[in-house]
């Protein structure tokens, strides 16, 4: 006997009656559809509905997972932009890999704002690092051909080169300053003995290095001043840095030290190392700007939405 298929109207009536708890015999009487056929059609309908509901649930879960994925990727991109920088002082000793290592320390998958920060275990740090590296690979896959990731490598190289050059610049600063001060009889002894603060010579050398560094980074003029304090003493200040320079009771001595420091800074700027440092600073600035533009959320979100990586929810 050929299997009978119910019309839409018949199936709809069977479904309505069954959902009203009608027996199969009653459904047969009211629809004219044999009860076994009605039961089979209804069960097929129920299975079909379950499949559709499962598909819808999976779509909802996948959409939510993708929103999480998108948030993690854009958050990681923002962390890159906020991590890469120019050394904040000429005393920077970290390698670029150490600076970038901050990217991988944060547990992004389990962050909850209202839970107090807990010092992660070594195992937790390794786990966070592993997950963040996967996020980085995912971000690169989504932006392949659109973001020039070589810019990050070039920033690293410029950072490390600048770090090495700063060591040379420090040595030059001490040498140039010593040569200038040695031309003035007993000036070094007076700086050491008549300074109110300890380590006066170290403060002077650090001040010279500071103003050369900030003049190079910010295109500022070399500013060294002997500024009077409210207590009748005079401080030698370097640029915007106050409170760390040597302090003298004699104004003439402070002015003489400031003049020598300005002379040393001018010679240092004309030396061989400062232009090399300036070149690396410019490279870092250019690469930071490039990555800021390429990883801007307004640019990044459409790229991620239009591409796929191995971590994307199916």
Q: Is residue 54 part of a domain?
A: no
Domain that includes residue 270, residue range:
167-276
Instruction: Give the mean pLDDT per block of 10 residues along the chain (314 residues).
Output: 76 89 90 90 89 88 91 93 92 92 77 51 84 93 94 96 94 90 85 85 90 89 89 87 82 92 92 92 96 94 92 81
- Tally the domains of the chain: 1
CA-to-CA separations, 64 to 60, 109, 111, 312, in angstroms, rounded: 6, 14, 17, 11
Asked if residue 149 is part of any domain, the answer here is no
Q: Is the pTM of this model over 0.85?
A: no
Distance CA 56, CA 38 (A): 27
Q: In whole angstroms, give the CA distance from residue 295 to residue 143.
A: 9
The verdict on residue 77 lying in a domain is no
Could you tell me if residue 230 is inside a domain? yes
Per-residue pLDDT of 202-234, as tens digits, reads 888 999 999 999 899 988 889 999 999 888 899
Structural domain contains residue 245: yes
Quote the pLDDT of residue 114.
42
Q: How far is CA 5 from the centre of its chain?
A: 63
Q: Distance between CA 25 and CA 160 in Å, rounded? A: 85
In a domain? residue 229? yes
pLDDT at 150: 96
In a domain, 184, yes or no: yes
Torsion of CA 300, 95, 108, 291, to 10 degrees: -10
Q: Please give, one letter per residue, the 3-state secondary structure of the chain.
A: CCCCCCCHHHHHHHHHHHHCCCCHHHHHHHHCCCHHHHHHHHHHHHHHHHHHHHHHHHHHHHHHHHHHHHHHHHHHHHHHHHHCCCCCCCCCCCCHHHHHHHHHCCCCCCCCCCCCCCCCCHHHHHHHHHHHHHHHHHHHHHCCCCCCCHHHHHHHHHHHHHHHHHHHHHHHHHHHHHHHHCCCCCHHHHHHHHECCCCHHHHHHHHHHHHHHHHHHHCCCCCEEEEECCCCCEEEEECCECCCCCEECCHHHHHHHHHHHHHHHHHHHCCCHHHHHHHHHHHHHHHHHHHHHHCCHHHHHHHHHCCCCCCCCC
Beta carbons of 138 and 243 less than 8 angstroms apart = no
- Predicted confidence at residue 285, as pLDDT, reads 96
Provide the pLDDT for residue 72: 92
Q: Is residue 151 part of a domain?
A: no
Q: Give the C-alpha separation, 167 to 59, whole Å.
A: 57
User: What pLDDT score was predicted for residue 110?
Assistant: 59
Question: Tokens 């971590």 label which residue?
Answer: 311
């Amino acid at each position: 006997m050929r299997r009978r298929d119910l019309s839409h109207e018949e199936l709809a009536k069977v479904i309505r009656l069954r959902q009203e708890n009608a027996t199969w015999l009653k459904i047969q009487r009211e629809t004219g559809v044999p009860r076994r056929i009605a039961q089979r059609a209804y069960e097929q309908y129920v299975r079909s509905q379950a499949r559709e509901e499962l598909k819808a649930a999976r779509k909802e879960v996948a959409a939510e997972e993708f929103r999480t994925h998108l948030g993690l990727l854009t958050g990681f991109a923002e962390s890159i932009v906020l991590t890469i920088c120019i050394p904040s002082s000429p005393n920077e000793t970290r390698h670029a890999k150490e600076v970038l290592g901050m990217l991988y320390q944060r547990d992004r998958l389990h962050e909850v704002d209202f839970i107090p920060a807990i010092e992660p275990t070594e195992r937790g740090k390794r786990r966070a690092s592993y997950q963040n590296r996967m996020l980085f690979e995912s971000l690169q896959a989504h932006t392949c051909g659109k973001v020039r990731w070589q810019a990050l490598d070039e920033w690293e190289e410029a950072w490390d080169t600048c770090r090495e050059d700063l060591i040379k610049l420090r040595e030059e600063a001490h040498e140039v300053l010593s040569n200038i001060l040695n031309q003035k009889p007993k000036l070094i002894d007076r700086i050491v003995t008549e300074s109110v603060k300890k380590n006066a010579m170290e403060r002077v050398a650090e001040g010279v290095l500071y103003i050369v560094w900030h003049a190079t980074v910010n295109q500022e003029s070399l500013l060294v001043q002997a500024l009077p304090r409210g207590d009748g003493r005079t401080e030698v200040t370097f640029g915007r840095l106050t409170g760390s320079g040597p302090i003298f009771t004699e104004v003439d001595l402070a002015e003489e030290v400031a003049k020598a420091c300005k002379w040393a800074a001018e010679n240092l700027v004309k030396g061989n190392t400062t232009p090399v440092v300036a070149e690396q600073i410019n490279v870092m600035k250019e690469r930071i700007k490039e990555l800021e533009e390429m990883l801007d959320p307004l640019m990044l979100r459409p790229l991620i939405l239009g591409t796929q990586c191995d971590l994307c929810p199916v």
